[in-house]
Amino acid sequence: METVAALKEVTRQQEHLIAELNHALYGKRSGKLSEDQRRLALEDLSIALAEVEAEKEERAVKVGAGACKPALPRTIRNLPATLPRIEEIIEPDNLICLCGFGVMHKIGEDRSERPGVVPAWFRVIVTVRPKYACQPCTDGVTQALAPSHLVIGGLQTVATIALVLVSKFADHLPLCRQRQILVRTGLDRHRAVLAGWVGKAAFDLMPVVDRLAEDLKRSSKLFMDETISSLPDRGRGVTKTGYLWALAQDDGPWGGDDPPGAVCFYAPGRAGECAETFVTCFDGILQVDGYTDDNRLTKP
């Protein structure tokens, strides 16, 4: 009876969470929340609801006196064919038939696929450059040249710097949190060191950004917009407002053959004069959003 009472209490908690979830979706204040706030609330409620459902299933099995545990609903289907497959074959402990006349023969198999992951792990790349010399003579020593590094004299590899860049700019993971992740793996690097890696990589990637901008300007149609970006005001201890200008193209909706692309530039203001510096040598149609009538770009 105690287990049944506990199961009813879990059901009550589940109904409460469902009501909270509906309120977050359709309540009066749901429209006042930003998209990020709404997603965060739904995420927390979904986690709590899944936890309660797992507890309810566990208690239901105990009430059923040894009944089979219900299978969880499958939410992942059609796993990408590009992912590598690692087969794990589980054989029976004994293939001798109980009749005693021989070994069982394979007549079929059951296959199931589940997504797996290998957590990021760091390794030490040991570069060995052997030295060779001729024994009969003393004409010198032959040795291969050392490979070039992105940061001269630095210990990090290109893959390590790429991981830091993707985590910071694509996954919005600050360097302070990345340092905590590195410490857990045994690789302790100060936040200033990571910042140095990012700065060096940003400088070396500038030719790629310039080339991308040149390719975009060859298009007949471009879109431009700006967004606010806060950055520290050096020497004052406060932040100042800057603007990131995005220059993009996408001819897919119009049946174009050019691949989509985007490149961002920084400017201290949002006036049209700031944006015009990024579209020099462009003679096509430029669509600009986010401006008032007095500072709209003078482009067709």
Which CATH number goes with the domain that contains 273?
3.30.720
Pairwise CA distance, residues 288 & 247, whole Å: 10
**pLDDT tens per residue, range 67-123:** 455 555 555 567 888 889 999 999 988 888 888 778 888 899 998 888 888 887 888
For residue 24, being part of any structural domain is answered with yes
Total structural domains in the chain?
Answer: 3
Q: Do 195 and 227 have their domain in common?
A: no
Same domain, 229 and 247: yes
Instruction: Reply yes or no on whether the pLDDT at 30 is more than 70.
Output: no
124 in Cβ contact with 187 (< 8 Å): no
Tokens of 81: 């064919």
- How far is the C-alpha of 296 from the C-alpha of 224, rounded, in Å? 11
If you average pLDDT over every residue of the chain, what do you get? 78
| pLDDT tens digits for range 110-163 | 988 888 888 878 888 888 999 998 888 877 888 898 888 777 766 788 888 899
The domain of 15 spans 2-63
Among residues 18, 40, 63, the one where a domain terminates is 63
Residue 179: per-residue pLDDT:
92
The answer to whether 289 and 277 are in contact (CB under 8 A) is no
Across the range 271-279, mean pLDDT stands at 77
Does 171 map to a domain?
yes
Question: Is-contact 299 247, C-beta < 8 A?
Answer: no
| Residue 247 maps to a domain | yes
C-alpha span between 105 and 113 (Å, rounded): 24
Q: Which of 27, 43, 63 is the last residue of a domain?
A: 63
215 and 170 in one domain? no
Same domain as 223, residue 254 = yes
Residues 221 and 163 in one domain: no
Cα–Cα distance, 82 to 79 (Å, whole number): 9
Tell whether 235 and 290 lie within a shared domain.
Answer: yes
Residue 70 lies in a domain: no
Question: How big is the chain, counted in residues?
Answer: 300
Structure tokens belonging to residue 298: 């003078």
CA atoms within a 13 Å half-sphere pointing along the CA-CB vector of 297: 22
One domain for residues 29 and 10: yes
Same domain for 216 and 283, yes or no, is yes
The answer on 278 and 232 residing in a single domain is yes
In a domain, 130, yes or no: no
Identify the band that residue 300 occupies on the pLDDT scale cut at 50, 70 and 90.
very low
Tell me whether residue 135 is in a domain: no
Asked whether residue 45 is domain-assigned, the answer is: yes
For residue 148, is it within any domain? no
Q: What is the DSSP string of the chain?
A: -HHHHHHHHHHHHHHHHHHHHHHHHHSTTGGGS-HHHHHHHHHHHHHHHHHHHHHHHHHHHHHTTSPPPPPPPP---S--TTS---------S--B-TTSS-B---------------------------EEE-SS--S-EEEPPPPP-SSTT----HHHHHHHHIIIIIS---HHHHHHHHHHTT----HHHHHHHHHHHHHHTHHHHHHHHHHHHTSSEEEEEEEEEEEEETTTTEEEEEEEEEEEE--GGGT--SPPEEEEEEES--SHHHHHTTSTT--SEEEE-S--GGG-----
β-strand partners of 261 = 249
Residue at a domain's end among 172, 206, 240 = 206
